Amino acid sequence: MYDLKFNPEKYEVKTCELGGRKITYRAFENIVYCKNPVNKVQKLNLFVPEAYYHGEMINGYDLKTAPIFAPNTVGGYMEGPAMEVGIDKFNHKPNTAFEGLLHGYVVMCAGVRGRNTGMRSREFFVGGAGKDNGETEEALCGRAPALIVDMKAAIRYMRHNKGLVPGDVEKIITNGTSAGGALSALAGATGNAKEYEPYLKAIGAAEERDDIFAASCYCPIHNLEHADAAYEWLFQKETVSHMMRFEMGPNGPKMIPVVRELSEEQKELSKELKASFPAYVNSLNLKDDQGKSLSLDKNGEGSFREYVMQFVLKSATKEKATLDSQNRLKGLAVPGSEIESQDYITYTGEKATGIDTDAYVAKITRMKPTPAFDALDLKSPENEEFGDEKVPARHFTAFSMEHSKAGGEMADPEKIRLLNPTEFIGSRDTTRNWRIRHGAFDRDTSIAIPVILATMLKNKGFNVDFALPWGLPHSGDYDLEELFAWIDDLAK
């Protein structure tokens, strides 16, 4: 058993200098945040500007008042080890821990389990819920809902040590990208939801609140059970998928494009999935900012479609006005996404007011084949996320279950729900503050998915800052200055 007491004396003073910017910080590392961990990834790192221990302030914050910024490293629903201060291995820029510290935040990086946890040789904790130390027996222990259970346990650990840990435990802001964005959305939506209690008990999480102050979500890959229909609603006319495959070459990992025409069967399935989307959207009773109902007719046309496209147009208008101040600056924009060359957009003065949706979708291209998430051969990351130690992968939609080519079984409906933030909005202590970003050129999930999340939140009265930044692909942390300004505005 691990105790849950924070030791303020157990730290190292470290310095990190990147691109001429330097931060000296106290690093409290490898803190086990629950009493009965089942895997070594269940540890957190806490980083604090050293200046706070010398009575100094940064950005108006001090050791007690600094917000606690909590970025995760989850991607692809794989485990996300606790971040260290340094370079982000995806965008090769100083990471969020570095930027957060420099800005004056206390940074809490929780390592969380994922679908690959237990897939390789690993040690168990002595006295933990798993086997004894030194064994190499494999047990998959990181499938749904483990990632959010671990994040909650880390949040509870911080609250449990209120006054002992640096920073303001009532100002925890989670941050993540993609599956990590979904994790952040889950942390935001499910504060204190009792449904996670048995899982939290099992790992010996502190008995504390686990609601947060704010959630920052970049391209959250969430609402998985509706994502296939949403995908075909947008991409049905695009019949070629453009995936990428990783391959290890002599000079390191290479990305190999895999371009495939959908089969006739997939084209049929695509039509069926698209046809099932309006019933879902209509069941949500969404409203726009003026209170007007948003819906779709049986062809997938209607006010909801126009509403989704308004976000794209708003993004185009902003891009035209600022001509790349943020996006291209960060070097992340998709080649060919220059606003001047997007002839599917029409303008009234400087305002983008019309869009040929089919041409826009053809431009950004379809990434995934049909079904995009609940694969009929059970080979998607999401299928694995719903597996466990006995069954490696499962279906999570009735549609793919019915069309399964792998004799797949259905995941437990409760576990599907525990992984879907939209199911918990307003149910208990959903955070008030949301910042959601999804690149206007992102094809990893349909833009309808983040739009639904943002709209459900707005309709329930939450504070939502939502945008589809122009030209950006599936990515995150590209506008940290704006994110930090948003946090400071709320926190001060």
Instruction: Supply φ then ψ for residue 30, to 5 degrees.
Output: 55, 45
Q: Which residue's CB comes closest to ligand DHB?
A: 178
By the rule CB under 6 A, 76 interacts with ligand DHB = yes
The residue among 178 and 266 lying less far from ligand DHB, judged by its C-beta, is: 178
CB of 375 to ligand DHB, least distance (A): 10
By the rule CB under 6 A, 381 interacts with ligand DHB = yes
**Candidate list 66, 153, 179, 467; residue touching ligand DHB; CB under 6 A:** 179
Q: Which stretch binds ligand DHB (CB under 6 A): 72-80, 87-95, 251-259, 411-419?
A: 72-80
CB of 75 to ligand DHB, least distance (A): 4
CB of 150 to ligand DHB, least distance (A): 16
The sign one gets for the Cα dihedral 228, 474, 185, 6 is positive
The residue among 76 and 302 lying less far from ligand DHB, judged by its C-beta, is: 76
For the chain, how far is it from start to end, CA to CA, in angstroms?
Answer: 38
By the rule CB under 6 A, 151 interacts with ligand DHB = no
Residue 108 pairs in a beta bridge with 46
CB of 213 to ligand DHB, least distance (A): 24
Rounded to the nearest 5 degrees, what angle is found at the Cα of 338, between the Cα atoms of 336 and 344? 85
DSSP 8-state class, residue 31: E
CB of 105 to ligand DHB, least distance (A): 24
By the rule CB under 6 A, 75 interacts with ligand DHB = yes
The sign one gets for the Cα dihedral 420, 485, 154, 89 is positive
The residue among 210 and 384 lying less far from ligand DHB, judged by its C-beta, is: 384
Rounded to the nearest 5 degrees, what angle is found at the Cα of 231, between the Cα atoms of 225 and 237? 150
CB of 117 to ligand DHB, least distance (A): 15
**Candidate list 96, 178, 223, 433; residue touching ligand DHB; CB under 6 A:** 178
Find, among 269, 250, 291, the residue nearest to 402 by Cα. 269
**Candidate list 154, 217, 221, 262; residue touching ligand DHB; CB under 6 A:** 221
Q: How far is CA 250 from CA 247, 253, 303, 326, 463, in A?
A: 10, 8, 52, 35, 49
By the rule CB under 6 A, 102 interacts with ligand DHB = no
Find, among 286, 337, 287, the residue nearest to 439 by Cα. 337
- CA–chain centroid gap for 170, Å, is 21
By the rule CB under 6 A, 448 interacts with ligand DHB = no
Q: How many CB atoms lie within 10 A of CB 314?
A: 17
By the rule CB under 6 A, 444 interacts with ligand DHB = yes
Q: Which stretch binds ligand DHB (CB under 6 A): 71-79, 202-210, 308-316, 434-442?
A: 71-79
Ranges within 9-38 binding ligand DHB (CB under 6 A) = none
Residue 232, class by beta-carbon neighbours within 10 Å (0-12 exposed, 13-18 middle, 19+ buried)? buried
Q: Which stretch binds ligand DHB (CB under 6 A): 38-46, 74-82, 260-268, 464-472?
A: 74-82
Q: In sequence order, which residues have a C-beta less than 8 Å from that of residue 76 and are 6 or more positions away? A: 114, 178, 179, 381
Q: Which stretch binds ligand DHB (CB under 6 A): 70-78, 83-91, 155-163, 431-439?
A: 70-78
Q: Which residues bind ligand DHB (CB under 6 A)?
A: 75-77, 178-179, 221, 381, 444
